[in-house]
């Protein structure tokens, strides 16, 4: 099951010394269920903040965000953990728990809850799916950046999320590794039918999504549909002509 996402007139500000920095400024867009959307824009354009707001990791100052049947701004704080376990979040800096093994990191989100099935098997399947079979007992410090990101993706998928939010999932990786990660995400989307919102500033990553939303100064400056039957090479060129 995948979630649609509706962002309506959302505002997010941060205090910055004596000033207030507006990270998201009256932002609105809709994403249908099952879509893969690239959120692009220069540094400071609000990409990460947008994903944090949709992931309920931070509250919006104004506007509404609706994910599937849930309107996030109306959720009580006690409902937020349940929402978070039903979506997946991949951080740019992985944020793995350094003391835990790869397997334990993947299982970690399920631990506070009663699970009808043993989540360990599911975690092994996911690690297999992300190409880390056999590395279950390794510690994060023993993995490369790409491998750590794969663990983070597996962890994000352990709850069979209807929405996957990925913040620069390939930002710290080489081109080849980044491509592999993206392949993995798109493959998982196909298999599980989840919605993906992916923040990136890499052209070749954005070009492989269904849609591209470019942010600037916290607002949508361009919203492109990339699935109109266009040749991927052409799409890449077209996207490349844009200033991501």
Residue from 80, 129, 138, 236 that binds other proteins (CB under 8 A)? 80
The answer to whether the beta carbons of residues 48 and 168 sit under 8 Å apart is yes
The DSSP symbol for 86 reads: H
**Contact between 215 and 50 (Cβ < 8 Å):** yes
Taking residues 5 to 44 in sequence order and writing x for each that binds other proteins by CB under 8 A, - otherwise, the string is: ---------xxxxx--------------------------
Report the nearest approach of other proteins to the CB of residue 83 (Å). Answer: 8
| Contact assessment for residue 38 and residue 213, using Cβ atoms and an 8 Å cutoff | yes
Q: Is 111 a binder of other proteins (CB under 8 A)?
A: yes
Q: What share of the chain is helix, strand, coil (3-state, %, to 5)?
A: 35, 25, 40
Residue 57 lies near other proteins (rule: CB under 8 A): yes
> Residue length, the chain?
244
The least distance separating other proteins from the CB of residue 17, rounded to whole angstroms, comes to: 5
CB of 238 to other proteins, least distance (A): 34
| Burial class, 17, CB count within 10 angstroms (exposed 0-12 / middle 13-18 / buried 19+) | exposed
Alpha-carbon gap, residue 209 to 169, rounded angstroms: 14
Question: Which of 41, 119, 159, 218 is in the footprint of other proteins by CB under 8 A?
Answer: 159
Give least dist CB 138 to other proteins, A.
13
The contact set with other proteins (CB under 8 A) reads 14-18, 52, 55-59, 77-78, 80-86, 89, 91, 95-101, 104, 108-109, 111-113, 139, 141, 155-156, 159
């Amino acid at each position: 099951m995948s979630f649609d996402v509706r962002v309506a007139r959302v505002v997010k500000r941060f205090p910055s010394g004596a000033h207030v920095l507006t990270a998201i400024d009256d932002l609105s867009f809709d994403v249908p269920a099952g879509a893969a959307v690239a959120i692009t824009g220069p540094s400071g354009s609000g990409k990460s903040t947008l994903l944090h707001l949709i992931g309920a990791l931070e509250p919006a100052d104004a506007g509404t965000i609706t994910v599937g049947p849930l309107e996030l701004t109306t959720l009580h704080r006690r409902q937020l953990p349940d929402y978070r376990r039903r979506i997946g979040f991949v951080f740019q800096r992985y944020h793995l728990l350094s003391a835990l093994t790869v397997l334990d990191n993947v299982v970690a989100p399920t631990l506070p809850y009663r699970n009808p099935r043993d989540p360990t098997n599911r975690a092994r399947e996911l690690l297999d799916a992300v190409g880390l079979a056999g590395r279950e007992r390794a510690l994060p410090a023993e993995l490369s950046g790409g491998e750590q990101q794969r663990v983070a993706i597996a962890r994000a998928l352990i709850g069979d999320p209807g929405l996957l939010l990925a913040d620069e999932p390939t930002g710290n990786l080489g081109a080849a590794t980044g491509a592999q990660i993206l392949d993995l995400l798109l493959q998982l989307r196909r298999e599980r039918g989840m919605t993906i919102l992916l923040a990136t500033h890499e052209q070749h990553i954005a070009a492989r999504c269904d849609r591209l939303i470019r942010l600037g100064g916290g607002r949508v400056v361009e919203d492109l549909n990339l699935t109109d039957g266009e040749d991927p090479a052409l799409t890449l060129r077209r996207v490349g002509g844009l200033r991501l």
